[in-house]
Amino acid sequence: MDEKSLPDWDPRSEAVLKDQTTAYDDMRRRCPVAYSQYGYTSLFRHEDVLRVLKDHESFSNAVSRFPSVPNGMDPPEHTVYRNLIEPYFSPEHMDAFAPVCRDIAVRLVRALPDEGPSELIGEFAQIFALRIQCAWLGWPADLHEPLRLWTLKNHAATLARDDADLAAVALEFDGYIKDLLEVRRTAGAAAPNDITTILLRDQSLGRTLTDDEIVSILRNWTVGELGTISASVGILAHYLAINSEWQQQLREQPALLPAAIDEILRIHAPLIMNRRVTTKQVMLGGRTQAKGARIALNWASANRDEAVFGDPDEMRLDRDPELNLLYGAGIHVCPGAPLARLELRIVMEELLGRTSRIALAMDKEPVNAFFPASGFSSLPLRIQKPSSQALGACLPPEIP
């Protein structure tokens, strides 16, 4: 970006933060390649975002100030680590984890008050995200609350762009993981056979991974999982609360849930943006970007591009799934997509299958999350449950 160029927009202005989706829609139509005073060029069109995703030679993923395995790497280094982590999200791992995931979802839905107000984000979505992540990685329950507080601190440090706070937050997370690794090393053959232990013993590179490599991998998985799963659950519940016809159809036809979940999260993104940096001078939307220019890919806008999706708010289950950038595209497409899809499908199956009505609370308004998060920071709902007799007739047997 020419240093003399005036900013095209302020992504942290009150108007943008009040209604991110509307603001991004406006930018896509008015200024689809936009400079900001924060040193980034934001891309709002599907075409431009997809181009960057597929051209990893011109747009590097090595943007983090901390080691990031493999998210913050480019080929050939990225390829090596990507091949290492992909087996952890295999169909076999997903099948093995599904009963655990369902048990967590069942317990949390059961705990929701019948008819009374429920604060879905704090009382359900965040708890589900924490418990599900810890269960998948084999982490103890006493880590739930520290991780919840850590997520809030990480969000605040990211928003403030405070390097000292970001470094402190990263160091705190490193300490949690290194303690978990030490427990497993001490246990030896008696260590739990969970994902963390398997990663500790992984020999895919012809050697064991260093602690720094394991910490980076687990930090990437955890940061991405906790925020986006919690946001996604809130977005899905809100959409169904205000669209009773879809709520009823998905109760009656749960097989439609996978496509419906991806489509709802296309309409209302759980993740706002991702970053790249140019490796050479490039042209984007008629504007020259110098080598080293920082690029922000705005998922929340690209997935609502009228040129690709028509009416961005129209809910359709027959769209080409390849066009939906919910999990990215290209070599950096989210490796954890199978896990996220499993978790969201199961939690929505249980939320719909064990309730008869989900509606917005009449006396309290939802509160939007603020950048860099998406979704809702507060979502008051009224959730009605069927009688125990009716519930038993339509649900499978309980998981012991």
Tokens read off for 15: 């108007």
User: Does residue 389 have a pLDDT over 60?
Assistant: no
**List of domains in the chain:** 14-394 (1.10.630.10)
Kindly report the pTM of this predicted structure.
Answer: 0.92
What's the confidence (pLDDT) of residue 392?
Answer: 43
What's the confidence (pLDDT) of residue 332?
Answer: 94
In which element (H, E) is residue 368 found?
strand 367-368
Q: How many CB atoms lie within 10 A of CB 394?
A: 10
For the chain, how many helices (H) and strands (E)?
Answer: 17, 12
pLDDT tens sequence across 273-298: 999 999 999 999 999 999 999 999 99
Give the mean model confidence (pLDDT) for residues 341-366.
95
Confidence class for position 159, pLDDT limits 50, 70, 90: low
Q: Which of 386, 369, 389, 340 is nearest to 94 (CA)?
A: 340
- Exposure string of 84-108, with b = 16+ CB inside 10 Å and e = fewer, is bbeebbeeebbeebeeebbbbbbeb
Confidence class for position 307, pLDDT limits 50, 70, 90: very high
pLDDT tens sequence across 11-53: 989 999 889 999 999 999 999 999 999 999 999 999 999 999 9
At CA 267, angle to CA 261 and CA 268, rounded to 5?
85
Give the mean model confidence (pLDDT) for residues 346-370.
94
User: Does residue 399 have a pLDDT over 50?
Assistant: no
Give the mean model confidence (pLDDT) for residues 55-66.
90
